[in-house]
Amino acid sequence: MTRIIPIVVVIAVALVACLPLLGDNYLLRLGTMFAMYAVLALSWNIIGGFAGYPSFATAAFFGLGAYTGAILQGAGIPMIVAWTGACVMALVFAVLLGMAILHLKGHYFAIASLVVAEVLLEIATSWTGLTGGGMGLNLPVLQISIEAQARLFFYAMLTIAVLALLMNWLVSRGKVGFALRCIRQNEDASSMVGIDTTFYKVTGFGLSAILVGGAGAIYASWVFYIEPADVFSVLLSVKPIVMAMLGGAGTVLGPVVGALVFIVMEELVWRNFLSFHAAVLGLLIVGLIFFLPNGILGLVRRRRAAGLKPEEEGAA
């Protein structure tokens, strides 16, 4: 079973990569959004899923990446360099922030990470000279056809989504993942047996930021216009958590499954209940907590475990 999964994943990615062949721009937009959500959920999974730290900093990394990318592009720097710059910026910010706030636990960490995004939002709104303030920032328009743009940004987003998936896979198999899981179960004990908890937490936090910054920059180039309330929105921090929990937090594929289910539901809700969509998202969250506490993959795994043999299951 475990050998089949990588093959299935590769085939699934290949199929998704064929999406532009259908020639449907609506589907392509959904595909790009799906890839973006997958990046956010997979990235959050490193710090929130593996290490169990309730981070609400995703919006901060995303907005920071979006503004870094937009400002660099506005200065005439090539798009791909601007995107890379956004990744670096998010990584540096996360490492510094992590060193400052990762000693906090539980609710205190959650609040600190939540408030950081709010402060960045205020800075972006006030610093009119650099960011255009509340009026937002326009990006240079690309001189290629609309269809070519749609394809370009779809493939860019898909590329970092695949990178995010690879990152999760490597982390979960490697030393970092082992250390982060130990920290989730008992941080004091991990530190006692010689795990440098601060180092691994900061590493995990940095990894959870780097691709989110890139996704923010690609998003900015994709929509041509960003404003602080849009890219620093608290929902950008909450949705990835919901997606990861929906699929199964702390698993490699869970966040992707969650992102897929989430975007389908979100699209249906947006289409049918425009003025009530936040409430429907709220209902979805409440239902998720009560009926799917271990996510979809948790459910599948439990079914299988019950069918085969009693298996030790990690409490997600």
Partner 1 sequence: MLYLQILLNGLMLGGLYACIAVGFSLVWGVLNVINILHGSFVVLGSYIAYFAYVHLGIHPFFSIVLSGGALFALGYAVQAGLINRVVGAPVLTTLVLTFGLDLLLNNSMLLAFSADYRTVRLENPFGSLVVANLVVPLNRLYAMLLAVVLTGLLYVVLMRSRIGRAIVAVRMDPEAAALMGVNVKRIFALTFGIGALMAGGAGSLLSLIFPISPLASTDFLGIAFVVCVLGGLGSIAGAMVGGLALGVIQSFGALFIGPEHGLTIAFVLLIILLIFKPTGLMGRRGYE
Interface ranges with partner 1 (CB under 8 A): 48, 52, 54, 100-101, 104, 106-108, 110-112, 115-116, 118-119, 122-123, 126, 234, 238, 241-242, 245, 275-279, 281-286, 288-290, 293
From the CB of 53, what's the least distance to partner 1, in Å?
9
Residue 23 contacts residue 225 (beta carbons within 8 Å): no
> CA-to-CA distance for 99 and 94, rounded, in angstroms?
8
The beta strand positions in 186-296, using DSSP E, are 225-226
226: left (phi over 0), alpha (psi -120 to 50) or beta: beta
Minimum CB distance to partner 1 smaller for 17 or for 111: 111
Minimum CB distance to partner 1 smaller for 53 or for 222: 53
Residue 35 CA to its chain's centroid (Å): 10
Q: In terms of DSSP H, where are the helices of 3-145?
A: 4-17, 25-44, 58-74, 79-101, 106-126, 128-131
From the CB of 55, what's the least distance to partner 1, in Å?
9
DSSP code for 130: H
From the CB of 28, what's the least distance to partner 1, in Å?
29
Minimum CB distance to partner 1 smaller for 107 or for 309: 107
From the CB of 142, what's the least distance to partner 1, in Å?
35
From the CB of 282, what's the least distance to partner 1, in Å?
3
> CA-to-CA distance for 113 and 200, rounded, in angstroms?
18
Nearest to 35 by CA among 211, 233, 203, 225: 211
Q: List, in order, residues 6 or more apart from 259 with CB less than 8 Å away.
A: 34, 37, 38, 40, 41, 243, 247
From the CB of 313, what's the least distance to partner 1, in Å?
16
From the CB of 279, what's the least distance to partner 1, in Å?
4
Residue 254 contacts residue 299 (beta carbons within 8 Å): no
Minimum CB distance to partner 1 smaller for 97 or for 139: 97
Minimum CB distance to partner 1 smaller for 30 or for 292: 292
Minimum CB distance to partner 1 smaller for 86 or for 101: 101
Minimum CB distance to partner 1 smaller for 163 or for 292: 292
